[in-house]
Amino acid sequence: MDKKYGAYICTGCGIGDALDIEGLTGAAKEQGMQAKVHEALCSVAGRELIQNDINNDGVNTVVVCACSPRVMKDEFNFGDDKYVTRANLREGVAWCAEEVTESRSAEKVKEFATEKGQDYVRMACVQAKKGDLPDPYKLETINKKILVMGGGIAGMTAAMDAAKAGYAVTIIEAQDKLGGKALGWRKQFPTAAPWTGLEEPTVQAMVAAVQAEAGITLKTATEVARIAGAPGAYKVTLKAAGTKSEWDAPKKVGVDEQDKITKGEMEDPNLGLQPYMAEDTAAEDFGAVVLATGWNPADVSEYAHLGYGKLKNVVTNAEFEKLAKTGKVPASVAFVQSPGGAEHDQDFPYCNSVTSMVALKQARYVREDNAAEGKAYVLYQHMRTPGNMEMFYKGAQNDDGIFMTKATVTQVEESGNGLAVHLKDTLLNEDVTLNVDMVVLAAGMVPTTSDKPTINLAYRQGPAFLDLELFDGYADSHFICFPYETRRTGVYACGGVRKAMNMEETIDDACGAALKAIQSIESADRGVAVHPRSGDGTYPEFFFQRCTQCKRCTEECPFGALDDDEKGTPKPNPTRCRRCGTCMGACPERIIGFKNYNIDQIGSMVKSIEVPDDDEDKLRIIVFACENDAYPALDMAAMRKLPQNALVRVVSVRCLGSVNMAWIKDALAAGMDGALLLGCKFGDDYQCHFVKGSELAEKRMANIGETLGSLGLEPERCGVRQIAINEYNKVDEIINEFVEEIIGLGPNPFKGF
Ligand code: SF4
Ligand code: SF4
């Protein structure tokens, strides 16, 4: 695109008071842009100023120097054919200016703030010069049919909701009939006032409705043999349940295996080169997948003191439900909700409110089947009955035959014809022994992805969801922010495979996954990303002539978006891509980039920062802040007028995984004194929106630290710090600590060279 630039500086919201505006226009001028100044660019008059330049002077690349790029997005959107960059002068400088103190005069504060503002103006101008408008990748043909794996409550609901929205759906179910585990339930939780009584199961009515729905194709006793392709263009091969297929032995494709690929498959733009290259004539086309394969009861045999597997009448809650469905339950039953022993204050793994409510439901069976002599003892550490289920809990509490107490079970053993349950009642602080006919353990709901991690994806990274062991077997890409989204774009999980949940929750959940599947298909059709960069029309482009086939990009992509071609070169699947830029950060050849986010652009922005080489009070520290947590936290800190260190210059990045170490080298080579990566938390509490970007950044920074050491620079000049979005009150402290460390090291010895 032939660019015609327009730069605009806002003096509203305190910017004009905190910064020297002439200094800012001067910085734009250095970049060849004659900036216009307005008192409120976001106002009607301010926007008109810009729009008139677009209409009358042909401006198509707009540099807005005003508030954070996270706000006023609509106000500064001048159409899809106009490229807009933003300099964050308000939150990034004016609102976080340092406080005037005895040692720092008002003039000095303004001088430092203006220098920071000038750098942000320079960077926004360079960003405009080096970036371009997105050119969305679109599939030539798109298939909008949805495959639902699993025909239980979750799968049936997702299928019905998608069908009602006008999308063709195929349900595959490994069993020979629909209904899943709900077929074995005797009663359901209440779904209406007064929320105290049990209800008759509705699963058969759901099955009948699904069977009558014209938009749904049913395939029972069927499993997936292979899923190849990408969102909007999946090729799915099905097989009879329980049978083997040629793709059952999962393995990663290697260059040495490429010769097994048929020529036809190589040329198929949708299928592309895939790990399992046998003829696949029976494949069906789909656009997205809903994963509703449910859960399995957790193994509770490891708790030896509870006797499961050894004592005949110690059963799980799932086994008790079967017994209750087919016959009469015993007259006295203890429901053990937590393992006791050394883990006395914990629940069983994979438990939550569902297992509390199941115990209350099953206690009711004891009362229903045994009238006056029925006695149910619910022994819990945590009783969770959210929302209206509090009434259900109260109903059980008011039943004379249901006894509930907080207790630690120390031993279950045979006693006469029954069982003796030894416990410490932690409410009464008494040791108690209960003599019962049966003990029911609250086994949790383990996602099927834990036992069977593969959905037979024909992806270079393998057929399964990666890193399941790190996430307790769950396939989510982000457990807080993006429900339903797995670590494979286009595959959306719901129901028990996503979280332990009851039927009502499952129905809501399935609707969400169906909508996500539809969103994925429609996003692929428009050539834009799904969460978290929904609507982003860019995608990674590769300059393959310089690719060394090192495969770092294919291996580090958190979403398996890259396969290999016949020569072993990365083969992008843009509709699988979430636009995180991890591949760009990984590539040592620096040949991956997006139209509006690339190595040259960010590197040039960094180099445009003015680094004084004769003033020890003016060290410069570059902070690459992830746009998902760290950058918002910085904005929020500024909204609370928390001062930010005047020496830092912040660059927003898509993910710390996208930070190419070339930028760090550029910064230090330009004389900057330190480089900090500020991103999401990783480890057990991971919050990275792109699964592992911050973790990768930590590893890469450790490597660059070694390189710096060999150059005679202190490795401590480069750091990685973690921050959650709600820790805005800590972010300045974290930055200040790092800056203090750099001040302690002194100026970059290569400054000025
Ligand atoms: S941008 Fe992210 S999701 Fe897309 S190919 Fe690169 S690493 Fe994979
Ligand atoms: S990281 Fe870069 S050089 Fe390595 S395979 Fe990927 S594109 Fe090629």
Query: Which uninterrupted H or E stretch holds 424?
Result: strand 418-425
Pairing assessment for the beta strands 5-10 and 36-38 based on DSSP bridges: parallel
Question: What's the 231 CA to ligand 1 centre distance in angstroms?
Answer: 14
Ligand positioned closest to the Cα atom of 587: 2
- Scanning 527-578, the segments in alpha helix (DSSP H) are 552-556
Which phi and psi (to 5°) does residue 245 adopt? Answer: -130, 170
Ligand positioned closest to the Cα atom of 582: 1
Ligand positioned closest to the Cα atom of 577: 1
Q: Which ligand 1 atom lies nearest to the CA of residue 586?
A: 7
Residue to substitute in 460, 543, 546, 548 for testing ligand 2 pocket (most ligand atoms within 8 angstroms of CB): 548
Walk me through the domains of the chain, giving residue ranges and CATH numbers: 1-133 (3.40.50), 146-296+447-526 (3.50.50.60), 299-443 (3.50.50.60), 597-753 (3.40.50)
Question: Cα separation of 218 and 169, whole Å?
Answer: 9
Of all protein residues, whose CA lies closest to atom 3 belonging to ligand 1?
577
pLDDT at position 691 is 84
Query: CA geometry: angle at 162 spanning 161 and 168, to 5°?
Result: 140
Question: Cα separation of 156 and 140, whole Å?
Answer: 31
pLDDT at position 248 is 66
Beta strands per DSSP E along 17-115: 36-38, 61-66, 83-88
Question: Cα separation of 323 and 184, whole Å?
Answer: 9
Question: What's the 54 CA to ligand 1 centre distance in angstroms?
Answer: 34
> Nearest CA to 147 among 518, 672, 445, 610?
518
Query: Which uninterrupted H or E stretch holds 412?
Result: strand 402-415
Whether omega for the bond prior to residue 574 falls within 30 degrees of 0, making it cis, is: no
- Dihedral over alpha carbons 460, 550, 575, 602 (to 10 degrees): 160
pLDDT at position 277 is 43
- Is the overall model pTM greater than 0.85, yes or no? yes
What does the block give as tokens for 610? 């003015």
Question: Cα separation of 420 and 375, whole Å?
Answer: 14
Residue to substitute in 589, 599, 661, 700 for testing ligand 2 pocket (most ligand atoms within 8 angstroms of CB): 589
Q: Determine the 3-state secondary structure of 177 from DSSP.
A: coil
Q: Which ligand 2 atom lies nearest to the CA of residue 587?
A: 1
Q: Which ligand 1 atom lies nearest to the CA of residue 553?
A: 7
Q: Which ligand 2 atom lies nearest to the CA of residue 552?
A: 1
Q: Determine the 3-state secondary structure of 71 from DSSP.
A: coil
Asked if 174 and 222 count as a contact pair (C-beta separation under 8 A), the reply is yes
Query: CA geometry: angle at 418 spanning 416 and 419, to 5°?
Result: 105
For residue 444, CA distances in Å to 85, 347, 349, 420 come to: 50, 9, 6, 23
Strand order in the sheet with 284-286: 222-230, 233-240, 284-286
Query: Which uninterrupted H or E stretch holds 625?
Result: strand 621-626
What does the block give as tokens for 47? 């926007």
Question: Cα separation of 132 and 724, whole Å?
Answer: 31
Query: CA geometry: angle at 119 spanning 2 and 584, to 5°?
Result: 60
- Scanning 6-95, the segments in alpha helix (DSSP H) are 15-18, 21-30, 44-57
What does the block give as tokens for 224? 């997936």
> Nearest CA to 679 among 661, 665, 659?
659
Query: Which uninterrupted H or E stretch holds 169?
Result: strand 169-173
* Cα distance between the two ends of the chain: 36
The residue whose two tokens read 């937590």 is: 338
Q: Which ligand 1 atom lies nearest to the CA of residue 540?
A: 1
Question: What's the 578 CA to ligand 1 centre distance in angstroms?
Answer: 6
Question: What's the 119 CA to ligand 1 centre distance in angstroms?
Answer: 30
Question: What's the 256 CA to ligand 2 centre distance in angstroms?
Answer: 18
Query: Which uninterrupted H or E stretch holds 520?
Result: helix 503-526
Q: Split the chain (753 residues) into runs of 10 and give each run's mean pLDDT.
A: 96 97 98 98 98 98 98 97 98 95 92 97 98 96 98 98 98 97 96 94 97 98 94 95 74 42 40 44 91 95 94 96 94 95 80 96 97 94 94 96 95 96 88 97 94 86 80 80 90 95 95 98 97 95 96 94 92 96 96 97 97 86 96 97 96 96 91 94 76 87 81 88 92 96 92 69
pLDDT at position 343 is 63
Question: What's the 471 CA to ligand 1 centre distance in angstroms?
Answer: 21
Asked if 266 and 566 count as a contact pair (C-beta separation under 8 A), the reply is yes
Would you tell me how many other CB atoms lie within 10 Å of the CB of residue 430?
11
Question: Cα separation of 635 and 41, whole Å?
Answer: 19
Q: Determine the 3-state secondary structure of 495 from DSSP.
A: helix
Pairing assessment for the beta strands 438-441 and 332-336 based on DSSP bridges: parallel
589 pocket-lining for ligand 2 (C-beta < 6 Å): yes
219 pocket-lining for ligand 2 (C-beta < 6 Å): no
Q: What is the DSSP string of 591-612?
A: -EEBTTB-HHHHHHHHHTS---
Q: Which ligand 2 atom lies nearest to the CA of residue 542?
A: 7
Question: What's the 383 CA to ligand 1 centre distance in angstroms?
Answer: 43
Of all protein residues, whose CA lies closest to atom 3 belonging to ligand 2?
547
Of all protein residues, whose CA lies closest to atom 6 belonging to ligand 2?
553
Asked if 11 and 38 count as a contact pair (C-beta separation under 8 A), the reply is yes
Question: What's the 562 CA to ligand 2 centre distance in angstroms?
Answer: 11
Question: What's the 515 CA to ligand 2 centre distance in angstroms?
Answer: 35
551 pocket-lining for ligand 2 (C-beta < 6 Å): yes
Question: What's the 551 CA to ligand 2 centre distance in angstroms?
Answer: 5
Of all protein residues, whose CA lies closest to atom 2 belonging to ligand 1?
580
Q: Cα Rg for the chain, rounded, in angstroms?
A: 30
- Name the DSSP class of 75: T
Query: CA geometry: angle at 651 spanning 648 and 655, to 5°?
Result: 130
Ligand positioned closest to the Cα atom of 592: 2
Secondary structure tally for the chain: helices H, strands E: 19, 29
Strand order in the sheet with 621-626: 648-653, 621-626, 674-679, 718-722
Q: Which ligand 1 atom lies nearest to the CA of residue 582?
A: 7
Would you tell me how many other CB atoms lie within 10 Å of the CB of residue 167?
20
Per the DSSP assignment, residues forming a β-bridge with 170 are 147, 217
Q: Which amino acids bring their CB within 6 angstroms of ligand 1?
A: 540, 557, 559, 561-562, 577-583
561 pocket-lining for ligand 2 (C-beta < 6 Å): no
